[in-house]
């Protein structure tokens, strides 16, 4: 079915688990596609394909060497194998987001499917594969795939800069969500298999030369890509400002989760009913003040890791914040002289402080004898 029509007349169709853009005229395309990728002027269509066959089944992702398999898929879509480029993802095309912005006669549309749940990561982390002498690289298609359509023509260098601007917009969207890398304590900058396609209208008499942040084209690309990526992440994996308004969502990057908190609480006070513990943790998890204080504490850890503050500064500020967190949970402050000046110790102290405060809250509520608590 047709789900959208661009300013150029190009139609976006969704069928066979694909989102297909068929060109109604001459287009310039610059893409990271493994099939007919790079800079092309001879394409008749592009598409984004959902390769997730369902729970417990292997991905239907095609390796670059599987030409017959790719040809079969493209033929099924009614497209020309020699003049089509495509991307793959585990995201359903029902979760695609389409955003269009206009200024005067200029129109930009971004279409994104976004997921970080399989291979979300931060640039510069240790790699998981190495390509050598044409060997196939094993990839997991989690993926943020982006198509950017412009109703004007662009120079080649303008198209290349459009990729830079789009990438910055994607990273900005992930930063604003505080999205977690799956491979480190860092904030994700994308997945390991992200793809992008820039499509310019070669039939236009107006050829744009600049797509950076100072120009209107760059602004429209940035805004549409940010909005499309943000919307698709919420549709596909419920990653949103609302879902991130959570203590545990903020701390998980540093290995502080429900499991680690429960384990610490059981050490402190084995007699507590776990159902009561879980109820209190879940109740406090979305408390606005606690989320705010926790966010500040986690950002201290980030800045310590990045070398922006010293260990001493992180320790001193962390003590202030943990006392506020402890008071918010149990009206008690934490002992003095327990702070250390490294990231691992800060994570351990947060877990201990949170667990200790939960125990204090529950033992006071249940009128338990303080002697039952092992500290």
Above pLDDT 90, what percent of the chain?
68
- Ramachandran assignment for 107, one of left (phi > 0), alpha (psi -120 to 50 degrees), beta (any other): beta
DSSP letter, residue 301: H
Q: Is the pLDDT of residue 367 over 60?
A: no
CA distances 224 to 93, 244, 246, Å, are 18, 22, 27
Q: Set out the domains of the chain in order of their start, with CATH numbers.
A: 2-237 (3.60.70), 247-372 (no CATH)
Asked if 39 and 96 count as a contact pair (C-beta separation under 8 A), the reply is: no
**Do 144 and 112 touch, CB atoms closer than 8 A?**
yes
Query: pTM for this one?
Result: 0.88
pLDDT beyond 90 at 336: no
Residue carrying the six token digits 């070398």:
307
Residue 291 pLDDT > 70: yes
DSSP 358: H
Angle at 158 between CA 154 and CA 161, to 5 degrees: 145
User: Which residues are CB-neighbours of 337 under 8 A, at least 6 positions away?
Assistant: none
Q: Which helix (H) or strand (E) holds 23?
A: none
- Model pLDDT for residues 23-62, shown as the tens digit of each residue: 999 999 999 999 999 999 999 999 999 998 765 444 555 5
Poorest-pLDDT segment among 108-112, 200-204, 289-293: 289-293
């Amino acid at each position: 079915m047709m789900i959208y029509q661009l300013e150029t007349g190009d139609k976006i169709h969704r069928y066979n688990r694909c989102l297909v853009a068929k060109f109604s005229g001459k287009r310039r395309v610059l893409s990271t596609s493994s099939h007919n990728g790079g800079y092309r002027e001879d394409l008749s269509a592009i598409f984004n394909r959902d390769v997730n066959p369902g729970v417990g089944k292997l991905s239907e992702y095609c390796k670059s060497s599987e030409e017959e398999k790719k040809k079969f898929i493209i033929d099924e879509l009614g497209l020309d194998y020699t003049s089509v480029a495509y991307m793959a993802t585990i995201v359903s095309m029902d979760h695609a987001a389409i955003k269009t912005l206009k200024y005067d006669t200029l129109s930009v549309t971004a279409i994104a499917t976004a997921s970080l749940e399989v291979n979300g990561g931060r640039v510069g982390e240790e790699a998981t594969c190495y390509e050598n002498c044409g060997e196939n690289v094993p990839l997991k298609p989690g993926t943020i795939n982006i198509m950017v359509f412009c109703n004007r023509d662009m120079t080649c260098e303008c198209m290349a800069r459009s990729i830079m601007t789009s990438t910055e917009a994607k990273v900005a969207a992930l930063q604003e969500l505080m999205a977690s890398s799956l491979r480190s304590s860092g904030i994700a900058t994308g997945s390991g298999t992200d793809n992008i396609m820039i499509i310019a209208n070669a039939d236009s008499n107006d050829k744009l030369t600049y797509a950076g942040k100072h120009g209107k084209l760059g602004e429209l690309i940035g805004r549409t890509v940010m909005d499309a990526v943000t919307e698709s992440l919420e549709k596909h994996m419920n990653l949103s400002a609302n879902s991130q308004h959570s203590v545990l969502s903020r701390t998980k990057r540093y290995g502080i989760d429900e499991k680690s908190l429960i384990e610490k609480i059981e050490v402190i006070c084995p007699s507590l009913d776990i159902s009561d513990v879980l109820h209190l943790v879940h109740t406090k998890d979305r408390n606005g003040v606690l989320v705010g204080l926790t966010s500040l504490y986690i950002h201290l850890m980030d800045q310590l890791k990045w070398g922006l503050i010293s260990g001493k500064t992180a320790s001193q500020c962390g003590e202030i914040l943990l006392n506020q967190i402890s008071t918010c949970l149990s009206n008690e402050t934490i002992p003095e002289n327990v702070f250390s000046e490294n990231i691992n110790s800060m994570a351990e102290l947060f877990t201990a402080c949170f667990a200790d405060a939960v125990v204090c809250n529950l033992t006071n509520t249940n009128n338990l004898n303080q002697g039952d608590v092992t500290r």
